[in-house]
Amino acid sequence: MTELGAESARLAITGDDDVVRVRQLARSYAQQLKLSLVDQTKLVTATSELARNTLTHGGGGAAEISIVRDSRRAGVRASFQDSGSGIPDIDLAMTDGWSSGNGLGLGLSGARRLVDEFELDSAVGRGTTVTVVKWGR
């Protein structure tokens, strides 16, 4: 893990244990911001799905977790990048139950429902970046 200041860190995702580390880091930031237990759980579950996607579909990559602030509130942002083959059909990939692998097909669509902001950027041959934000209330 590379600390990028007190409120941001970057983690390589190259194995199962990194998925666990991403979860732990997301939780520690969420606790720091005193997110409710339900919001913490939703954020951590979403990061777990996305980190696993980075590993299994993107062939590994990195996660960057940060605390973000606007004028009214603070939140946790988690960004996942890989340089894998990319997603050819994003609408299809976002569909509940559709899976390119042997998963349940809930990773992307499910993660989106658990967070407040969701952004997906992917191009075939270039890789995929997914960024999510969970705001405190």
8, 28, 45, 79: which one binds other proteins (CB under 8 A): 45
DSSP string, 98-118: --SSSS-S-HHHHHHHHSSEE
Could you tell me if 91 and 109 are in contact, meaning their C-beta atoms sit under 8 angstroms apart?
Answer: no
Q: Is 108 in the site for other proteins (CB under 8 A)?
A: no
Q: How far is the CB of 112 from other proteins (least distance, A)?
A: 10
Choose, by CB under 8 A, the member of 42, 57, 77, 134 that binds other proteins: 42
**Positions in the binding site for other proteins (CB under 8 A):** 16-17, 19-20, 23-24, 27, 37-38, 40-42, 44-45, 48-49, 52, 96, 103-104, 106-107, 109-111, 113-114
